[in-house]
A and B are shown apart, each in its own frame.
Chain A
Amino acid sequence: MKNKIRLLFAILLILFPFKSLALIEVDITRGNLSPLPLAVSSLSSSENDKEALQKELDIKDIGLEISKIVENNLKKSGLFNPLSKDAFLQKPDIAHLKPRFEDWALIKAQALITGKVNFQDEKLRVEFRLWDVLAGKEMLALAFTTVPKNWRRVGHIISDKVYKRLTGEKGYFDTRIIYVSEKGPKTQRIKKLAIMDQDGFNTKYLTLGNELVLTPRFNPTNQMVTYLSYFKNLPRVYLLDIETGMQEVVGDFPGMTFAPRFSPDGKKIIMSFAMDGNSDIYTMDLENRIVERITNHPSIDTSPSYSPDGKYITFNSDRSGYQQIYVMKSDGTKVKRISFGKGLYGTPVWSPRGDLIAFTKLHKGKFYIGVMRTNGKGERLLTENYYQEAPSWSPNGRVLIFYRETKTDSKGEGFSAKLWSIDLTGYNERLVETETDASDPSWSSLLSN
């Protein structure tokens, strides 16, 4: 009897290690020097559906195109290494039913994404699965339906779900960026509001360029945008409805209003109002139009940004003599300075995770994008440049988008403005492609839940 128990114990000891193989996990809190190799198979679709969608959307193989969007997103995150499809051994339709894991392990893929697209009753029905190749298990299986013109969002939604399953964090791929498109010589720059998918596609221009427009920001519900416009040569904060194109001035202020943002619940605009040489921070409730004064100080107070719970505001003030970063309660009380390093600080913006404030710093003629904890400690500079500013957070608080300008040479040429992004870890700094020169980017929240 004892021997049998010993034998059983020995068998269990042998079996256990195999069964307790942890499923893949990706750590996004450190710089990732070895991105996880994975395989993104084309989504399979029937020949009939392929033909119908070619007519509808002018796309040859929608399953392939969607898989490219996923590959591109995951690759750009710096955390994943999508393997070349040339090496794939299994066909998309079979792989989606039952992957032969050995085939995928052979090409060194640790994870596999497969899927299927149907075109039925004018709708796209999408199914996808995420597989752990080494453990030989399905990690995630989801299906959803959408209209054909949203086909690119299918790729972004799949990317977000995969990212979330593998990192434990929400993704940031089904999002849009709003920014200022720029053209022309520095002395007569033509600026327009532009919006695009975060991967650079579907760019739309929202204003015509007849008046100067600056610093657009999304409403958390994503239908409205607030920005500064010099319409009729009167610089004021406006609201713009992305769907209808309707523009509306915010309030009835007797002087310049600027630097607008929405409160986290989308119900208020917070901004600066300049009068007689002094700029203070004000809010306006969009429903009842009540205006509240938040700061009352002879210094310049600007660039306000709410904490995600709406209880605090971080802002830029030169009340100590030079531009520094402050935090106060949302009613304007308990103002506290939080930046103390050498140099000037500006453009503070509170992370959607609530834990950090990103900022621009100028020191000894160089510009830095950095982050600090909300009490000012742990200041960390992520990147240095001749000129860069105005970081905006991805909705998961892991990536910052900002803009850079280059020098003009002695002939007055060579000037350009471009959007860049960098991970919170300081790694994965990359150019964000735009159709024209660009500045003042702002990241939307996730379009889907």
Chain B
Amino acid sequence: MKFSKNYKNIFLAMFLSFLLSACATQTSTKKIDSQIQGDVYTGTDTVEYLADGVPDRVFFATNESVLTTASRETLRKQAAWLRKNPDVTVVLEGHADERGTREYNLALGERRANAAKDYLMTYGISSSRASVISYGKERPVDSGSNPLAWSKNRRSVTVKAN
């Protein structure tokens, strides 16, 4: 019957458009998903490099100072580079996002920077080569007021001191 054929087509069209819109949302959430995993920034937007293939920073989850697998890999690369360049000293700068009280964030930044430093030390970098400073939430790299910006700010950055 002509009637039911039209219905079929309409139904098919609707089904297809639902599929397509579902795909669209998948990609946009995927974009953010691919930059934050387990509340830790995994993107490369703000990352700088100490040397070829040696990222200068690691990221943290909210209120945490735990190093992720990716962070440990980055720090191993840093340690290797530091062993190859024994005259270089560094400062590890610890930071927090703005969604917390100021004083606690100063302490949290210090804890994060020390977590990174401790890991470098397990790979043979002596404590005298790496000093620590916390900036709490005072030096965000991204001034946005959204979870992605905040995840980029929860970081410990290794900076050449000489």
Contact = CB atoms under 8 A, between A and B. Distances in A.
Given A185-B143, A277-B65, A277-B111, A362 B99 contact: yes
A187 B133 contact: no
B114 A187 contact: no
Given A316-B103, A407-B145, A412-B143, 13 more contacts: A187-B141, A228-B106, A235-B106, A256-B110, A258-B107, A272-B107, A300-B104, A303-B103, A323-B101, A360-B101, A389-B102, A390-B101, A440-B102
The listed residue with most A CB atoms (<10 A of its CB), out of B110, B118, B140, B144, is: B110
A303 B104 contact: yes
Interface of B: 63, 65, 98-104, 106-108, 110-111, 114-115, 118, 132-135, 138-145
B106 A258 contact: yes
A276 to B, nearest CB: 6
B143 A390 contact: no
Contact of A408 (B107, B118, B132, B143): B143
A318 B118 CA distance: 21
11 contacts: A186-B140, A187-B141, A228-B106, A255-B110, A274-B134, A277-B111, A278-B111, A302-B104, A318-B104, A360-B101, A389-B102
Contacts of A439: 102
A256 B101 contact: no
Contacts, number: 102
A215 B103 contact: yes
B100 to A, nearest CB: 7
A217 B139 CA distance: 22
A235 B101 contact: no
Contacts of A117: none
A256 B141 CA distance: 22
Contact of B134 (A235, A278, A316, A346): A235
A415 B140 CA distance: 13
Contacts of A303: 101, 103-104
A233 B161 CA distance: 12
A389 B101 contact: yes
Contact of B106 (A185, A186, A259, A344): A259
Given A300-B107, A316-B104, A322-B63, A256 B143 contact: no
A442 interface: no
Interface string A358-394: 0010100100000000000000000000010110000
A214 interface: yes
A347 interface: yes
Contacts of A440: 102
Nearest to B147: A365
Contact of B133 (A235, A272, A344, A410): A235
Interface of A: 185-187, 189, 212, 214-215, 228, 233-235, 255-256, 258-259, 272, 274, 276-279, 300, 302-303, 316, 318, 322-323, 344, 346-347, 360, 362, 365, 387, 389-390, 405, 407-408, 410, 412, 415, 439-440
B50 to A, nearest CB: 19
B65 A214 contact: no
Contacts of A187: 139-143
Given A302-B107, A412-B143, A390 B114 contact: no
B68 to A, nearest CB: 17
A365 B147 CA distance: 11
Contacts of A277: 65, 110-111, 114-115, 118
Contacts of A274: 106-107, 110, 134
The listed residue with most B CB atoms (<10 A of its CB), out of A185, A189, A408, is: A408
Contacts of A389: 101-102
Contacts of B132: 255
Contact of A412 (B115, B133, B144): B144
Contacts of B111: 277-279, 300
Given A256-B133, A277-B118, A189 B138 contact: yes
Contacts of A346: 100-101, 103-104
Contacts of B110: 255-256, 274, 277, 279
Nearest to B115: A277
B136 to A, nearest CB: 8
